[in-house]
Amino acid sequence: DAKTTQPNSMESNEEEPVHLPCNHSTISGTDYIHWYRQLPSQGPEYVIHGLTSNVNNRMASLAIAEDRKSSTLILHRATLRDAAVYYCIRANSKLTFGKGITLSVRP
CA distance 54 to 64: 6
Window contacting other proteins (CB under 8 A); options: 14-22, 65-73, 74-82, 92-100: 92-100
Nearest distance in Å: CB 15, other proteins = 27
Q: Does 72 bind other proteins (CB under 8 A)?
A: no
What backbone torsions phi and psi does residue 82 show, to the nearest 5 degrees?
-85, -5
User: Do 23 and 13 meet the contact criterion of CB atoms below 8 Å apart?
Assistant: no
| Binding flag, residue 92, other proteins (CB under 8 A) | yes
Closest-CA residue to 37 (of 28, 47, 27): 47
Number of neighbours of residue 22 by Cβ within 10 angstroms: 25
Instruction: Report the residue from 53, 58, 93, 107 that binds other proteins according to the rule CB under 8 A.
Output: 93
Sites of contact with other proteins (CB under 8 A): 1-2, 30-32, 34, 36, 41-46, 49, 51, 87, 91-100
